[in-house]
Amino acid sequence: MLCNDVKRVVYFFLDGSLGDRRKEDFSQHLNLCPDCARRTSVHSRLRNFVQRRLQRSNAPEKFKTRLSRTLRAIGAEWS
Ligand SMILES: [Zn+2]
């Protein structure tokens, strides 16, 4: 897996929706590439933070969807 692939699938990885095979590729790349490892941990923290917020506020589905779309846009900017 290359850096560009990692950027593209980071959300699937964090979602747990990446296949086993690709998940392994992904982890292997993180071990070899500090840049991607750092980026992934930023995404992961951001995601956890927002999810905790959403759980507490009991936000409606529509809002959650919109927010997760916004997050992806932010993530893309940081990549
Ligand atoms: Zn990389």
CB environment 52-68: b (16+ within 10 A), e (fewer): eeeeeeeeeeeeeeeee
Span 45-64, pLDDT tens digits: 988 888 888 777 666 777 77
Q: What is the pTM of this model?
A: 0.68
In degrees and rounded to multiples of 5, residue 12 shows phi and psi of: -70, -35
How many structural domains comprise the chain?
1
Containing domain of residue 27, as a range? 3-78
| Whole-number pLDDT of residue 68 | 80
Q: How far is the CA of 3 from the centre of ligand 1 (A)?
A: 4
Q: How far is the CA of 27 from the centre of ligand 1 (A)?
A: 11
Q: How far is the CA of 51 from the centre of ligand 1 (A)?
A: 26
Question: Is residue 39 very low, low, confident or very high in pLDDT (cuts 50, 70, 90)?
Answer: very high
Comparing 6-10, 21-25, 60-64, which segment has the lowest mean pLDDT? 60-64
